[in-house]
A and B are shown apart, each in its own frame.
Chain A
Amino acid sequence: MFSSRSLYFFVTFTTFCVINPKPLISNDVLIAGCIKGDRQFQKALYDRFAPKMFGHCLRYSGNTDDAQDLLQDGFIKVFDSISALKNPQQLEGWMTRVFINLALSRYRKERSGPQFQELPESDQLSEEETSEPLPVLELSEVLACLHALPPTYATVLNLYAIDQLPHREIAELMGVSEGNAKTLLSRGRKMLKEELKKRKK
């Protein structure tokens, strides 16, 4: 009744399904479904990327409530503009960028003037301390240290140290000069170290 080839495919497929109870939907298929506005595909995209994006949101937001707001708005923005994504292989990177841009956009709206006062470019703080071992902390403690900094410095540290953006791009995103961005970074590092010292004690 069944040819040996059919049997072979049936066994292989069944085995694959048993090993992978949730077969991975490719990015192309996910994106195509989201472009159509299919809620199931949107949910699948959310399920796949929400933990990572929530991590980004927590880094850029001062508290969990703000991070949750950002997560919601970020996914809505992703669903709205996913048709603009050219290369499906870059989905995660593109989504990360959408979330970072949204976080910065929110931040620009909320910030008040003085935080962005031009700093003298020569104000590169001296950091005389030698490299000393830094503590291993719980994630919540690391986030608490980062968010203890003024938002401007925390944002610059996020952009430079974790997201690895160059100074020029950070300067553009923050609306300051490149020299100023470096100064903000330098001060941010110093503040973070001081915060870590406080925690050690």
Chain B
Amino acid sequence: MNRDNSHIDEWLKQQLEGVELTPAPEMWEAIEAKMDARKRRFPLWAWVSAASIAVVSLGVWVASHSVSSSAVSESGAQGPALVESQSPVIAPSPEQSVSAGSAEHEANVGLYRAPIPSTFPSSSLASTSGVGEVYQGLLPPVFEPYSKALSIRVFRLEPFLQNQLVVSAPRDSQRSDKGPWYLEVGFDQNQTGILYSAVPVRSSYIHKNYFDRVQQGEFSLQSARLSFSVQRDIQEHLRLHAGLAWAQNRRGQSFDFQDSMPASSAVGTVADAFGNYPIFGYLSPGPRVQYQGQSTLNFLSIPVGLSFRPEAGRHGNWVMDAQLQANLISGQGGKTLNYHYLTLEDWSDDAFQTWFLSARVAAGWERELRPGLSWSILGNMQGAMTPLYQAGSAVKAHAWSAGLSTQLIWSLKGGRP
């Protein structure tokens, strides 16, 4: 049998080894034309450069926010010092009139980064009881930690795997110059990370006992996401993708607290987008807030992105992906905490930007397990590019999350997706 095998192998080798055939003369022109056409396209290095600039810009933007926030933190760490105000006259807003007693006394004990004018017209404030007690340190111990240094976490590392199942259906373009189309359906967890943070320059609009939480991220949203996308190879290793994704976050809410009431002033200062004026002092504790319920947030997203997928060995490739996503957010049934008064309010879509932009960058490695089935692991970082709250609000979404995701990619037609 072996002799027979080598016989046919030898015959085939003799017939075809070293075969030389002169190709048609127009072949070289065709190669030149292809190379010229490729040069005219937006070259690969330009895509890579653009993506790098975007990533670096993103990093610089995040870093600059981190620094400015830290600066506020340091000034906050100096304790309850009086901050001189440039405002010559100040008067209470009609609905927010408070009693302040002695302005100097307040400044030494109770004020927290509130701009108090030297000409504070205490007589114009309405009188209420309990102010002195508050400012003489009778606040519950729970308030004490807020005089210490503030810190901010811009990045939130999510040390868990995001598992994504992707079903990819390549549609062959029948040897056209362009690559094939792909359809992709994916399901993954934790692709939506939202953290709230304070705008440092408007920190005096936020209740002092809430400020740390807002600085560090009031809460984060992590939700399952269902996505659909159409993908197309635009160059050999470059793929454009666009699609639609839907994510929903459901979370239980539980509030049980009692906190001091803020004292706000109006004249000479500017209200934020919700009509709240800077807080210059705090009064006695307000009513106790108790609530238990569930909130639901929906994110409808339109992601558009580019992936660069150079080969890495015979059965694998590197994956670098950058995408921009327009998101429509809506909420149902939940309560939200007013950052100024610490009161509970019904969720209102009006308080938030209807649309906000987010971006995601990911890089990793993909390996073909067997024809039609691939597995990938990607490190990723995503975040909001535009504020979640309305413009002019004292808080905004500072939505960042970093994570590690795995994907199982099944190609309906076989081959590497």
Contacts and interface: CB of A to CB of B under 8 A. Distances in A.
Interface of A: 39, 43, 46, 50-52, 54-55, 58-59, 68-69, 71-73, 75-76, 79, 108-113, 116, 126-131, 134, 137, 139, 142-143, 146, 157-158, 160-162, 172-173, 175, 186, 189, 192-193
Most buried by A among B368, B372, B414: B414
A72 B34 contact: yes
B1 A71 contact: no
A116 B413 CA distance: 12
B46 interface: no
Contact of A162 (B3, B13, B24, B35): B13
Nearest to A131: B7
B158 interface: no
B315 A161 contact: no
Nearest to A108: B415
B314 A51 contact: no
B4 A172 contact: no
A127 B5 contact: yes
A193 B18 contact: no
Q: Is the interface of A mostly helix, strand, loop or mixed?
A: helix
Contact of A130 (B4, B34, B172, B416): B4
Contacts of A111: 371, 414-415
Nearest to B412: A113
Interface string B4-38: 11011111110111111111100110111011001
Most buried by A among B34, B172, B371, B413: B371
Most buried by A among B4, B21, B22, B314: B21
A51 B20 CA distance: 5
Interface residues of B, number: 42
A108 B31 contact: no
Most buried by B among A108, A134, A161, A162: A161
B41 interface: no
B167 to A, nearest CB: 14
B288 interface: no
Given A130-B4, A175-B368, A189-B9, A51 B23 contact: yes
